[in-house]
Each structure stands twice: as C-alpha cells, then as structure tokens.
Amino acid sequence: MFESLTEKLESIFKKLRSRGLLKEEDVDLALKEVRLALLEADVNFKVVKEFIQKVKEKAVGKEVLESLTPGQQVIKIVNEELCSLLGGSNSRIQLSPNPPTVIMMVGLHGSGKTTTSAKLARFFKKEGRRPMLVAADLQRPAAIDQLITLGSQIDVAVFHSKDTKDPVTLCEESIKKAKLEARDILILDTAGRLHIDDTLMAELKHIKDVVSPREVIFVADAMTGQDAVNIAKSFNEQIGIDGIILTKMDGDARGGAAISIRSVTGRPIKFIGTGEKIDMLEPFYPERVASRILGMGDVLGLIEQAQKTFEQKEAEKLQEKILGESFTFDDLKEQLKKIRSMGPIENILNMIPGMNKMKGLTVDEKEFVKIEAIINSMTSAEKRNHNLLNGSRRRRIATGSGTTVTDVNRVVKQYVELKKMLKMFKGGKGMKLPKFLPF
C-alpha cells in the first residue's frame, strides 16, 4: 500500500515541532511531499505547480490549530483546496424544458463511453423517465451490437442502423424517432476518437451542431496519466463539454486525472463509474476523491471501516475476557464501562459473536450505575476474591455505594453465577444467562 501522505508529513514535522504560525520553510518542506504525492497520483505537473503555489499562499503564516500538528494543518489546507478545486457540490445532469434531453457522450477510445451510456440510461429509467440509446459509434467493430445487448439488459430501446455510414444523419434521425416515441432522454454513444484527429473531431462538432445536445459529457478513464490535460482541453475547446464522468474508479488508480481535467475544463464531474455492472454508476463526491488522490485513501470510507474494526475488536476482547478464568470484579466493571460507552446495549449485543441470536433481551441501563458503584466500593483484595465478602464487608460496601446490602448480595451472587457459567461456557456445555448481565 501507499504510505499515506499524512504519515510522511508527520515524520517531517516531528523534527520541526513548530508551534503557533506555519513558517514558510516548514510549508515548503511539507508541500514538497504533497507535490510528489500529487505527481504519483497522475495530476498533471503544471496543475500541480499552480496548486502548490495556491496552497502555499494560504498556508504560510496561518495559525496552527490547537488540536492539530503542523503536518495535519497543512494537509487540512491541501485537502480543502483540493475539494474546492474538484467542485464543491455534485452537480446533476441538466434536463431540457423541451424533451427529449439530448446527452452526447464523447471521449477517447476505451474510456468507457458505451458502458457509461447504458449506465446513464438505466439511471434515468430508474427515475421514471423514458430514455433511448443511440448507437452512433460506427467505427469500432461490433460497437452497435454491444449497445444493443446492453440496451436489452436494461430494457431500453436502442436506435441503430447497420447500413448508415454517417453518424451525423443517424443522430439527426434519432431525434425524430425519439419525438415520435415520446422519449424524454436521448443518449448518443459516439465513437471513440483521438483529440488530435481533425477529421473525427470535426465530425463530432458537426453532430453537436445538428442535434444541439443539452449536455456533452466527456467520458474519461480514471487511470489516465499526464496527458489528461491535453485530451480534456482539446475536447473542451473543439467540441465544448458540459460535464465529466470518470470511469473505472473501482480500480486502485489514485485518479489524479480528475484534478487535471477539472482544472483545465472548469466543468463539473457528475458521476463516477465503479464497476462493469450496469448499475455501477455513482454520484461524484469531491471529498472522497480528494482523499484518494492525496493517498489518504477514502478517508470517509476508512473511518467507517475503522469503526467497524474497532467494534469488532472490542467485541472479541470482551468475549476473551469473559471466557477467561481470571474474571475479577474489576474486569466486570471495565467491561460494563466499555459496553456502556459503545452505545445502546441491544446494538452492542448484536455485535458479540453468538449473541445476536438472543432475542427479547431487555437491559436496564440504571443497573449498570449501581453495579459500578458497588464494585467501586470494594477493596482491591475483595475485587479479586469474592470469598472475602462477609457480612460486615458487604454492609460497608452498601453504605459506600449508596445501595442496600440486598443489592450487594445480588451483585455478588450474580458475579459468582457468571463465573460458574463462564466455566461452563468454556467447557462447551452451553450457557444460562444470569438475570442482570447483558451477556
């Protein structure tokens, strides 16, 4: 795995320990690493240069927040800048007031136009619209068949003609057909082409002029390298694009092309393709892609994951303790405390392996407070050995914890029962739950 940028920066800033304001030399040092991370993520070097300059201006002299290290502070600024560069909100595809809304898909060979066209058609169909696909890629062998197959998979009509040689005429006719059939969305799958192929670019321009699409969507492969700027710029200048769909985001490419394309075209990224299946089209979230580009993984996803792992680990530890012979009052208290900090008991129970099947388990949260108080009033020796707990000791504990001797007796009894039960559990003889314990 990539070493995370945050880690790298942390190690640099360990030496500096600069507090207060971010100094220029510290920022420079940090941005050197940021620059490398961006380059490794395939962000175009010119875009990187501008970006670093912008961040530097914002960062130098900025106060380091109390809760952050200087490294984290720089990353925070970098992340914010990246997010704003990637475009604040996830912008939707605009619909025409007069249907059909014509959407024209353009891009290089193999960027994923045909698959994305079908995904988009499915997306609109789910929204209750009546889309139609147009097989306007007359170049690639079997491209028409591919779209027809995809269309039948999602039950969307595909306008095509195997005799037509001219995509302009085909697209023109498709609009008539769409109007006739009262289709409200028309998606044109055009042939992949090089941005420096003048003939084919002129053809694309011609199609655009004839069909006046509501949106021209530039389909770009998330794995694209440094050349992304040239490609996107050419398409935008020659054809004019309204939005971007990034494909193949389910791989492990860092997706720096997103920044390159976004910054040279200024157009929003509308969707990302996250798999080969037709339903794998997701809205674009700048924060997630920004973290990914910085090599911090998908921070949001990671936090979710970490939380899951944490809970899983806690649950396992808990079970281990319960199963252990050396289960003292202290352990009991510790576990109860942890359990209470983890949220509603019923939810926690579901996470403990084997516990999710126990239905109808009700837990009185107040009981925990009492138990804790009782245990707190015990001496260390008593906590380790319950046999010491004679009548006078129990009276002292009750007074100390503000409970009654009956309460103390019950806790001790249940603790003993629990210990017994744990032994049984360990021996695999099945188990019986004591009344007060959630486990």
First-to-last C-alpha distance (Å) of the chain: 39
Q: Which of these, 165, 201, 178, 161, lies nearest to 102 by C-alpha position? A: 178
Q: Which stretch binds other proteins (CB under 8 A): 3-11, 180-188, 227-235, 261-269?
A: 227-235
Size of residue set near other proteins by CB under 8 A: 45
Q: What is the largest CA-CA distance in the chain?
A: 101
Cβ-based neighbour number of residue 406 at 10 Å: 10
Q: Which stretch binds other proteins (CB under 8 A): 6-14, 20-28, 143-151, 300-308?
A: 143-151
Q: How far apart are CA 152 and CA 66, in angstroms?
A: 59
Among residues 231, 378, 389, 397, the one that binds other proteins under rule CB under 8 A: 231
Q: Which of these, 4, 21, 32, 31, lies nearest to 70 by C-alpha position? A: 21
Residues 65-124 interacting with other proteins (rule: CB under 8 A): 108-112
Among residues 224, 263, 377, 401, the one that binds other proteins under rule CB under 8 A: 224
Among residues 21, 194, 300, 388, the one that binds other proteins under rule CB under 8 A: 194
Cα angle vertex 298, ends 292, 302, to 5°? 150
Among residues 88, 225, 301, 343, the one that binds other proteins under rule CB under 8 A: 225
Among residues 34, 105, 216, 253, the one that binds other proteins under rule CB under 8 A: 253
Among residues 21, 196, 431, 433, the one that binds other proteins under rule CB under 8 A: 196
Q: What is the DSSP letter of 63?
A: B
DSSP 18-55: --SBPPHHHHHHHHHHHHHHHHHTT--HHHHHHHHHHH
Q: Environment class of residue 374 by beta-carbon count within 10 Å: exposed (0-12), middle (13-18) or buried (19+)?
A: buried
Among residues 226, 238, 319, 404, the one that binds other proteins under rule CB under 8 A: 226
When the beta carbons of 144 and 299 are compared against other proteins, the nearer one is 144
Distance from CA of residue 245 to its chain's centroid?
Answer: 17
For helices 45-59 and 257-265, angle between their N-to-C axes, nearest 10 degrees: 80
Among residues 33, 221, 382, 407, the one that binds other proteins under rule CB under 8 A: 221
Q: How far apart are CA 95 and CA 105, in angstroms?
A: 15
When the beta carbons of 22 and 150 are compared against other proteins, the nearer one is 150
27 binds other proteins (CB under 8 A): no
Cα angle vertex 421, ends 416, 426, to 5°? 130
252 binds other proteins (CB under 8 A): yes
When the beta carbons of 250 and 287 are compared against other proteins, the nearer one is 250
When the beta carbons of 45 and 310 are compared against other proteins, the nearer one is 45
293 binds other proteins (CB under 8 A): no
236 binds other proteins (CB under 8 A): no
301 binds other proteins (CB under 8 A): no
376 binds other proteins (CB under 8 A): no
Q: Which residue has the tokens 């099947």?
A: 357
When the beta carbons of 195 and 333 are compared against other proteins, the nearer one is 195
Residues 30-69 interacting with other proteins (rule: CB under 8 A): 36, 39-42, 44-45
Q: Which positions touch other proteins (CB under 8 A)?
A: 36, 39-42, 44-45, 108-112, 140-150, 153, 194-196, 221, 223-228, 230-231, 248, 250-254, 256-257, 276
